[in-house]
Amino acid sequence: MRVIVEPTPEAAAVRAASRVASLVRRRPDCVLALSSGSTPVRVYQELVRLHRESGLDFSQVRTFNLDEYVGLDRDDPRSFAAYIGKHLIRHVNLGRDRAESPDGRAPDPVAECARYEAAIAAAGGLDLALLGIGADGHIAFNEPGSSLRSRTRVKTLARKTLRANAPGFGDAADVPRLALTMGIGTLLDARACVLLAFGAEKAQAVQAAVEGPVTAQVPASALQLHPEVSVVLDEAAASDLARLDYYRETEVAQRALEAALAGGR
């Protein structure tokens, strides 16, 4: 895991966005898995800025949303499909037909999960998954206890998640209890992952994910098994990490190496 700590959420978002942008430039037809929630909003803003000001071209990119609430139509403003549309798709040159999400209104949600996995495979697999983290360590909607090899499936949301996601619905009681979500195995098959976290309320989950044991009780800890993961944090989210000094030293050395390699080209 490459742990990158930036002074502010803004700087961390720019860092994560530049990772996505460099992939899009290198591989214009790349396949992205996209997270909802408040954390990636600034990343999407930066990608939109890069599109407008530097011509970052999304015309051949395909996106797959990580998850969706069961029962919500993609046009429902509370759906994650609408969220990604509002924050990214509408503002860049990525056709709506290239922006996929699990269908929360599918009559057979189990079959819909199988269809979604097949669609990801047919697209050639995920090149990069942009992930947030729940305060309980969940990624996408893989709640604690999720199988580390799980694929896209229906999950029951934990009470803590219902409370955290209540603002979009008015009340925790109105948040759908079920969601369709990519599994941990689906995410581990992505060629790269970027995990983003901001704020002190994420510090404990980040510490457990990065430095704790790999356990289904902290789904994000499964990312330790992935060879290509960047964890991009602001100072507050990094504040519980025991080996913070080492991550900072690593980052300085890594940047020097990258600059030397770029100079030699």
Report in angstroms how near the CB of residue 114 gets to ligand GLP at its nearest. 20
Helix (H, G, I), strand (E, B) or coil at 16: helix
What does the CA dihedral 226, 230, 236, 240 come to, rounded to 10 degrees?
40
Catalytic residue status for 245: no
Per rule CB under 6 A, is residue 223 in the interface with ligand GLP?
A: no
Tell me whether strands 128-131 and 99-100 are parallel, antiparallel or unpaired. unpaired
Catalytic residue status for 6: no
Which of the ranges 5-13, 30-38, 100-108, 224-232 carries the binding residues for ligand GLP, by CB under 6 A?
A: 30-38
Per-residue contact track with ligand GLP, 131 to 170, x per CB under 6 A?
A: -xxx-----xx-------------------x---x-----
CB 128 within 8 A of CB 120: no
Identify the active-site residue in 67, 127, 234, 235.
Answer: 67
DSSP single-letter state for residue 227: S
Q: Which of residues 46-105 bind ligand GLP (CB under 6 A)?
A: 66-67
User: Which of 30, 39, 205, 208 forms a contact with ligand GLP (CB under 6 A)?
Assistant: 39
The strand order across the sheet containing 153-156 reads 67-69, 178-181, 153-156
Q: Closer CB to ligand GLP, residue 42 or residue 51? A: 42
Report in angstroms how near the CB of residue 86 gets to ligand GLP at its nearest. 15
User: Which of 2, 8, 29, 38 forms a contact with ligand GLP (CB under 6 A)?
Assistant: 38
Per rule CB under 6 A, is residue 176 in the interface with ligand GLP?
A: no
- DSSP codes of every residue in 212-231: S--BTTBGGGGGGG-SSEEE
CB 262 within 8 A of CB 256: no
Rg over CA atoms, the chain: 18
Neighbours of 105 (CB within 10 A): 16
Report in angstroms how near the CB of residue 84 gets to ligand GLP at its nearest. 11
Instruction: Give how many residues touch ligand GLP by CB under 6 A.
Output: 14
Q: Return the closest-CA partner of residue 124 out of 60, 168, 74, 76.
A: 60
Q: Return the closest-CA partner of residue 191 out of 140, 228, 139, 220.
A: 228
User: Which of 17, 23, 34, 36 forms a contact with ligand GLP (CB under 6 A)?
Assistant: 36
Catalytic residue status for 67: yes
Catalytic residue status for 138: yes
Query: Active-site positions?
Result: 67, 136, 138, 143
Residues that bind ligand GLP (CB under 6 A): 35-39, 66-67, 132-134, 140-141, 161, 165
